[in-house]
Amino acid sequence: MKGWLALAALILVHAAQAAEPHSGYQDASPATRAMQDNDSENPGFLWVQQGESLWSTAPQPGGQSCADCHGAPATLRGAAARYPAFDAGLKRPVTLEQRVNLCRTEHQHAPKLLQESDALLGLTALIGLQSRGMPVAVQTDGPMQPFRDEGQALFTTRMGQLQLSCSQCHDQLAGQRLGGSLIPQGHPNGYPLYRLEWQSMGSLTRRLRNCLTGVRAEPFAADSPELVAIEIFLAGRARGLVIETPAIRP
């Protein structure tokens, strides 16, 4: 009887752990965590530094820089924690990358920055850093609800030649191993982040494309509504975790 109670307690504790969002930081090795913890050893700050110089430089001669409108980057404290966010004018949610590019095309009269370019990673890393330590606070109700629901549907849909859904690995098998790697819960709270495998900084879009090709599925196009929907669902799922940008992951 005692044994059964202990087992039941263990299962309950386990279930509680599974329900609790768990940052990839906690799964990383002490060496990888140390790399993230110390700003002067975190290579993500090379991109933050580039973001800082772009922030105060007008992309078009005689035009406006980010700083001309926003002031110091610190005025955007909390912004990255709220993205993707609903744009009332466009009547759809936009990601932080898309917001930066909307600023460029609408206010700075400059061409869009390419997805995964060092410039866009630099600006989003700088903006993300301003929210470091703040909880993920993306709206998932109201006008965001249908997009979040679409994201959830995509997250639980089997895809690709391997016929695996995101949820099968990152909900049901999180904490177990695939090859030598721990399967993380797959939270978006550190992006853009420096991945040791990439030997570079990358966006959440790059990570999602990576997962999709991993299950032998055709990746969604950059800027596609599907990717935005998945980002919104992931943000809602990560509620309670804090922003770690620029994080380090293996």
Partner 1 sequence: MNRRRFLVLSGAILLPAIWAPARATPAEVKAAIRRAVGDAPLQPGRVKLDVPVLVENGNAVALAASIDALPGEVRAMHVFADGNPLPNVGSFRFGPRTGQPRIATRMRLATSQTVIAIAQMTDGTCFTDSVDLLVTLAACLE
Partner 2 sequence: MVRVLINVPKTARRGEVIELKVLISHPMETGQRRNDMGQPIPRDIIHSFRCTYNNELVLDADFYPAISANPFLSFTALAEESGQIVMTFTDDHGVEQTESRAITVA
Question: 105-108 long-range contacts, Cβ below 8 Å, gap at least 24?
Answer: 107/64, 107/69, 108/58, 108/59, 108/60, 108/63, 108/64, 108/65
Which residue, 3 or 30, has its beta carbon nearer to partner 2?
30
Task: State yes or no: is 211 an active-site residue.
Answer: yes
Which residue, 40 or 176, has its beta carbon nearer to partner 2?
40
**30 touching partner 1, by CB under 8 A:** yes
CB count in 10 Å sphere of residue 38: 10
Q: Which residues are within 8 A (CB) of 205 and not within 5 positions of it... i.e. 6 or more apart?
A: 95, 97, 115, 116, 222, 227
Please state whether the peptide bond connecting residue 192 to the residue before it is cis, i.e. omega within 30 degrees of 0: yes
Q: How far is the CB of 127 from partner 2 (least distance, A)?
A: 18
Contact pattern from residue 113 through residue 152 relative to partner 1, giving x for each residue in contact according to CB under 8 A and a dash for the rest:
----------------------------------------
**30 touching partner 2, by CB under 8 A:** no
Q: How far is the CB of 250 from partner 1 (least distance, A)?
A: 4
Bridge-based pairing state of the strands 92-94 and 193-195: unpaired
50 binds, among partner 2, partner 1, none (CB under 5 to 8 A by kind): partner 2
Among 25, 45, 155, 220, binds partner 2 (CB under 8 A): 45
**59 touching partner 2, by CB under 8 A:** no
What is 64-75 written as a DSSP string?
Answer: --HHHHH-SGGG
Beta bridge partners of 122: none
Which 8-state DSSP code applies to residue 77?
T
Which 8-state DSSP code applies to residue 42?
-
Which residue, 161 or 199, has its beta carbon nearer to partner 2?
199
What CA–CA distances, in Å, run from 92 to 10, 61, 88, 205, 241? Answer: 44, 32, 7, 18, 25
**210 touching partner 1, by CB under 8 A:** yes
**196 touching partner 1, by CB under 8 A:** yes
Segment near partner 2 (CB under 8 A), from 13-21, 44-52, 225-233, 241-249? 44-52
What is the binding site for partner 1 (CB under 8 A)?
A: 28-32, 34-35, 177-181, 196-199, 206, 210-211, 213-214, 250
Which residues does the annotation mark as catalytic?
211
